Chain A
Amino acid sequence: MATPTTEKKTLTFALMDAPYENERTVTALRLIDIAARRGYNLTVFAYEGAVSLAFAKQAPHANAVHGRDAAQEDHPMPRDWIAAVLAVAEKNGGKIDWINCGLCVDERGVGEAIPGTRRGSPADLWKAAEASDNTLVIGTR
């Protein structure tokens, strides 16, 4: 097993899955969280359905079948997970440049993203990959 390096690394992750659809999103955010806790500098390029992960208007809802209101249901919001990993990175001296593909955003009408994320283009993914120690693409199947 490799010994964790204390050197500050730069990694890029490309995510493609829409929220609530696949466990790959959880795995991706677990990886980003681990790297953020190490203070690495990270670029996350969200494209296709993944641009909805940071959509600011995701709303928690009640569950009438189980008789729970929205607070009791405590529905997980991917936008909150992203805000959490952004905060973890900052706390540990690193940073996350979270880029939502603008073409994909426009197609889906999810232009209102949470603070700390930004709009970009596929060219940003290329630039980030060029500047990174490594890149992991987690594509939809």
Chain B
Amino acid sequence: MEKYLFIESRDPFESRDVEQSYDLAAQLAREGKTVTLFLVQNGVLPARKSAASAGLEKAAQAGVQILADGFSLRERGIGEGRLTAAVKPAPLDVVVDQLAEGRKAIFF
């Protein structure tokens, strides 16, 4: 089975393109692919429950695993208790794990 790693560093309030990366991840998951969406830098901002979280929740419902870089969360003062249920905190090591595994990876 094909496996994908999307690394999203952008804040959806900065760029509408972010919605498209969420949608592409969701579409791949609906097609039965294994997809991880790893949020980093300002990409973690919608992981906090907000108006911008809907896209993440939709992707999670489609089967996308959504992780948020713990370091980026701490830098921005976002505690784990404030995350939407669709997102789990994770170390950046996961990205290296999945690169080593040979996933098709793209950094947005």
B107 touches A5 (CB 8 A): no
**Residue from the list A11, A133, A134, A139 in contact with B107, Cβ < 8 A:** A139
Residue interface mask B83-108, A partner, CB < 8 A = 1: 00000001011111111111101110
Q: Is B40 an interface residue (CB 8 A)?
A: yes
Assembled-state Cα–Cα distance A7/B96 (Å): 13
**Residue from the list A3, A136, A138 in contact with B97, Cβ < 8 A:** A3
Known: A23-B41, A30-B71, A34-B96. A1 touches B90 (CB 8 A): yes
**Which range contains the number of B residues in contact with the other chain?**
20 to 34
Q: Which residues of A contact B98 (CB under 8 A)?
A: 2
CB of A44 to closest CB in B, whole Å: 13
B105 touches A34 (CB 8 A): no
CB of A133 to closest CB in B, whole Å: 6
CB of A17 to closest CB in B, whole Å: 11
CB of A46 to closest CB in B, whole Å: 15
Residue interface mask B30-65, A partner, CB < 8 A = 1: 000000000011100000000000000000000000
A27 touches B9 (CB 8 A): yes
CB of A112 to closest CB in B, whole Å: 29
Q: Is A38 an interface residue (CB 8 A)?
A: yes
In the complex, besides A134-B99, A136-B99, 12 extra interface pairs with C-beta distance below 8 angstroms are A1-B94, A2-B100, A4-B100, A5-B97, A23-B9, A27-B40, A27-B41, A30-B71, A30-B92, A31-B95, A133-B102, A134-B103
Residues of A whose CB lies within 8 Å of any CB of B are 1-5, 7, 9, 11, 23-24, 27, 30-31, 34-35, 38, 40, 133-134, 136-139, 141
Query: Could you list 25 examples of A-B contacts with CB < 8 Å?
Result: A1-B67, A1-B90, A1-B94, A2-B98, A2-B101, A4-B93, A5-B100, A5-B101, A9-B100, A23-B9, A23-B42, A24-B9, A27-B92, A31-B96, A34-B93, A34-B95, A34-B96, A35-B96, A38-B96, A133-B100, A134-B100, A136-B7, A137-B106, A139-B107, A141-B10
Q: What 10 A-B pairs are tightest by C-beta distance, nearest first?
A: A2-B97, A9-B100, A134-B99, A34-B96, A23-B41, A138-B107, A35-B96, A136-B105, A2-B101, A4-B97
